């Protein structure tokens, strides 16, 4: 699927996004806080597009024709957790030069609308690592509320290192659309 918002296009990742993906995802301020290592090369980014980003409901955030971030709803067995029948998990990141513009909220709102209306999901959960207040703010702006705490493991993780994370939940579609 493809979605258009005021400033963005959300569409599936394609291999030719690898160059821009590497450009933004090599930044150590992006991946580790979201649960994955910084990308090491354009080839590494290409592999991520073919594996992780090829999952259902995972979209490139496209601005002026360039993939600048990612937003997705993971539904079991994708992702690290079973969130319950009819539930999913929201995830996102955006290149550092685009932080603070509200673009991830804009993209996530559109995807949440899709998740509730088209996919008929009941609850969308999201987690953020202790101290990731930027992500917490995004969830607050989207109408998520605190749910509980858990330990999460990183994606592409070989050592299964665990992180304390806070879990938020969104069921309130009415405020969003």
Ligand X SMILES: CC(C)(COP(=O)(O)OP(=O)(O)OC[C@H]1O[C@@H](n2cnc3c(N)ncnc32)[C@H](O)[C@@H]1OP(=O)(O)O)[C@@H](O)C(=O)NCCC(=O)NCCS
- The residue among 16 and 134 lying less far from ligand X, judged by its C-beta, is 134
The residue whose Cβ lies closest to ligand X is: 100
Provide the b/e sequence for 48-57 (b: ≥16 CB within 10 Å).
bbeebbebeb
Binding mask 33-72 toward ligand X (x if CB under 6 A, else -) reads xx--------------------------------------
- Tell me how far, at minimum, the Cβ of 164 lies from ligand X, in Å: 13
Where in 107-166 is the site for ligand X (CB under 6 A)? 128, 132, 134-135, 137-138, 141
Q: What is the C-alpha separation between 119 and 92, in angstroms, rounded? A: 19
- The residue among 18 and 94 lying less far from ligand X, judged by its C-beta, is 94
Could you say which of 8, 10, 104, 112 contacts ligand X (CB under 6 A)? 104
**Among 54-62, 97-105, 110-118, 156-164, which window interacts with ligand X (CB under 6 A)?**
97-105
Q: What is the C-alpha separation between 59 and 70, in angstroms, rounded? A: 6
129 close to 117: Cβ distance less than 8 angstroms? no
Q: How far is CA 153 from CA 93, 113, 157, in A?
A: 17, 28, 7
- Residue 101, CA atoms < 13 Å, CB-side half-sphere: 15
Binding site for ligand X (CB under 6 A): 30, 33-34, 92-94, 99-105, 128, 132, 134-135, 137-138, 141
């Amino acid at each position: 699927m493809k979605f258009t918002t005021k400033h963005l296009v959300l569409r599936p990742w394609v291999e030719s996004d690898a160059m821009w993906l590497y450009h933004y995802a090599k930044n150590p301020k992006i991946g580790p806080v979201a649960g994955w290592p910084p990308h090491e090369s354009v080839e590494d980014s290409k592999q991520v597009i073919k594996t992780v980003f090829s999952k259902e409901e995972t979209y490139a955030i496209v601005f002026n024709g360039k993939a600048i971030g990612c937003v997705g709803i993971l539904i079991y067995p994708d992702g690290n957790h079973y969130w319950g029948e009819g539930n999913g998990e929201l995830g996102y990141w955006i290149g550092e030069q685009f932080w603070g513009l509200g673009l991830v909220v804009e993209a996530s709102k559109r995807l949440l609308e899709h998740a509730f209306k088209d996919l008929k999901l009941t609850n969308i959960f999201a987690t953020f690592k202790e101290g990731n207040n930027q992500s917490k703010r995004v969830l607050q702006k989207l109408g998520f509320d605190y749910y509980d705490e858990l330990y999460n493991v990183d994606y592409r993780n070989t050592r299964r290192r665990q992180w304390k994370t806070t879990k938020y939940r969104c069921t309130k579609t009415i405020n969003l659309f």
